[in-house]
Amino acid sequence: MADFDFFSEAFRTDPHGQYARMRERCPVAHASEPYDWWAATRAEDVSQMLRKYKLWSSSHGPGLAYAGGSALVSVDPPRHTSDRRLVQRAFDADALNAMEPDIADLVATEMDGWCDRGHGDLMELLATPVPLVVIAWLLGLDVDYCREIRPRADGVVSRDADVQSATPSSRDGDREEETAYFLRTIAERRAAIAAGDDLPDDTLTALMTAELDGRVLSDVDVLGFMGFLFIAGSQTTTQLIGNMVWRLLQHPDQMELVRGDRSLVPHCVEESLRFDAPVHGLFRTNTEETELRGVTIAENSKVMCSFFSANMDPDAWDAPERFDITRDLDTLRKHYAFGKGIHFCMGAPLSRIEASVALEAVLDRLPNLRLTGEPNFISAPVLHGVETLPVAWDPS
Ligand code: HEM
């Protein structure tokens, strides 16, 4: 076991190199800020941890903070099993797939606004607004308001002990305003349900009208869900779109391949998720003292399952450090970017659609796309990838 500094610049700019060294030299590594915690970096260990949910509990939350909650990601079975069934309708694959034409229209409208400009930051122009608007649709929120407040995942993993102990919704004025706005939205929808009005066919309605064995979600549960989805559903997909286009620009041969054969679009999405997992990793807390690769981990410790590193483990992948969109699609989909086991991401089909639609549009409408500078990397430690993507293209 060795110490590592997850908050160092190196994890932002060269996670591939950092994790390669950790997998090799200290697959269960120790960090000491803001208190003792561990990271598991080998695919086999991450897979075991995600499956053994009795030992590796989610009840203290998926972040570094010991912060429970009622959202799905923070509960264990049996409650998790029934809650997941309760909200399943909101994430029905057919309903999510039916959003594809609307998402294509949204992407087209966004691009109409700037396509003839010939240059810009693709994160600001495309990768940020598209998932934001989609999550606003799902949650019945005002699109302009969401564009203004922008969800931020900074508090999920932080070295700051104050942030660790604060609930995300009480960190600052913005968050309080956000919570108040969510509560107003819930109250309005509750009133519409009581009045028997026609309800929007969105995730919020599905959450608020869901019933299982006589159980319904309370407003507090719905609020927890909204707060979680607002962040988990938008910033992650923003990273996916940005990272994918960035890697294709870095690998012009791969860009040419997908330009010539659009059946490779889903491969690009999955290879991006594998090569650049948007979420570095999430945490579990062990319910009893245990040993992992010879390291004794005291009961109640926070241990990060590194999705990013598991995706790059040579024991699990053939030539993992090669960005290669011709990999077999079924094999690729076994990546860890959406987690594994009982907490597997419920929004995976939606983010796959958003990323595919965005890539098709980039290929169609931005000829001769090229980087015009080096991207900046995102500073929220839980997320990985580019924060800016300066590009130019030949305007039509
Ligand atoms: C590229 C985009 C995304 C990535 C990388 C991602 C990643 C993840 C990961 C790693 C988990 C597992 C959490 C754990 O094991 O503790 C998860 C869970 C979840 N995600 Fe996503 N997510 C994405 C997009 C979305 C979207 C668009 C939505 C919804 C609109 C969503 C909703 C959820 C939900 C509800 C869970 C909780 C499942 C459970 O605990 O049973 N995600 N996501």
* Spans of all domains in the chain: 9-392
CA 283 to chain centre: 14
CA-CA distance, 57 to 77, in Å (whole number)?
A: 9
Q: Does position 111 have pLDDT exceeding 60, yes or no? A: yes
Cβ count near 323 (within 10 Å): 17
Q: Does the beta carbon of 346 sit less than 6 angstroms from any atom of ligand 1?
A: yes
**Both ends of the chain: CA-CA distance in Å?**
56
Hey, is 322 helix, strand or coil? coil
pLDDT at 151: 67
Burial string for 342-376 (b: 16+ CB within 10 Å, else e) reads ebebbbbbbbbbbbbbbbebbbebbeebeeeeebe
Query: pLDDT tens digit string along 291-337?
Result: 999 999 999 999 999 999 999 999 999 999 999 999 999 999 999 99
CA-CA distance, 256 to 274, in Å (whole number)?
A: 20
Residues written for the chain? 396
CA-CA distance, 387 to 157, in Å (whole number)?
A: 17
pLDDT at 152: 67
Q: Can you read off the two tokens belonging to residue 357? A: 């639609």
Q: Does position 163 have pLDDT exceeding 70, yes or no? A: no
pLDDT band, very low/low/confident/very high, at 20 (cuts 50, 70, 90): very high
CA-CA distance, 238 to 212, in Å (whole number)?
A: 33
pLDDT band, very low/low/confident/very high, at 165 (cuts 50, 70, 90): very low
More confident site: 396 or 142: 142
More confident site: 4 or 196: 196
What average pLDDT score do residues 128-154 get? 86
Q: Does the beta carbon of 347 sit less than 6 angstroms from any atom of ligand 1?
A: yes
What average pLDDT score do residues 333-353 get? 97
CA-CA distance, 78 to 62, in Å (whole number)?
A: 18
Q: What angle do helix axes 129-139 and 219-232 make, rounded to 10 degrees?
A: 170
Q: Does the beta carbon of 268 sit less than 6 angstroms from any atom of ligand 1?
A: no
Q: Does position 381 have pLDDT exceeding 90, yes or no? A: no
pLDDT at 159: 64
CA–centroid distance, 229 to ligand 1, in Å, is 8
Ligand 1, residue 75: give the atom nearest the CA: 40
Cβ count near 150 (within 10 Å): 14
pLDDT band, very low/low/confident/very high, at 8 (cuts 50, 70, 90): confident
Look at ligand 1, atom 35, and give the residue with the nearest C-alpha. 346
Look at ligand 1, atom 39, and give the residue with the nearest C-alpha. 343
Question: 9-392 in CATH: which number?
Answer: 1.10.630.10
pLDDT at 155: 61
Cβ count near 202 (within 10 Å): 17
Pairing of β 302-306 and β 37-40: parallel
pLDDT at 48: 98
Q: Does position 169 have pLDDT exceeding 50, yes or no? A: no
pLDDT band, very low/low/confident/very high, at 166 (cuts 50, 70, 90): very low
CA-CA distance, 136 to 322, in Å (whole number)?
A: 36
Degrees (nearest 5) of the Cα angle 326, 41, 157?
A: 105
What average pLDDT score do residues 254-281 get? 98
DSSP 8-state class, residue 39: E
Q: What is the mean pLDDT of the chain?
A: 91
pLDDT band, very low/low/confident/very high, at 388 (cuts 50, 70, 90): very high
Cβ count near 177 (within 10 Å): 12
- Mutation pick for ligand 1 pocket among 345, 346, 351 (CB with most ligand atoms within 8 Å): 345
Q: Does the beta carbon of 240 sit less than 6 angstroms from any atom of ligand 1?
A: yes
Q: Does position 177 have pLDDT exceeding 50, yes or no? A: yes
Q: Does the beta carbon of 61 sit less than 6 angstroms from any atom of ligand 1?
A: no
Q: Does the beta carbon of 385 sit less than 6 angstroms from any atom of ligand 1?
A: no
CA-CA distance, 312 to 310, in Å (whole number)?
A: 5
The DSSP element (H or E) to which 296 belongs, if any, is: strand 295-297
Hey, is 230 helix, strand or coil? helix
CA–centroid distance, 278 to ligand 1, in Å, is 11
Q: Does the beta carbon of 39 sit less than 6 angstroms from any atom of ligand 1?
A: no
Least confident of 138-147, 152-161, 277-286, 344-353: 152-161
What average pLDDT score do residues 4-28 get? 91
Select from 140, 145, 132 the least CA-distant residue to 204: 140
| Best-predicted range by mean pLDDT (146-160, 221-235, 316-330, 367-381) | 316-330
| Best-predicted range by mean pLDDT (182-196, 209-223, 259-273) | 259-273
Q: Does position 170 have pLDDT exceeding 90, yes or no? A: no
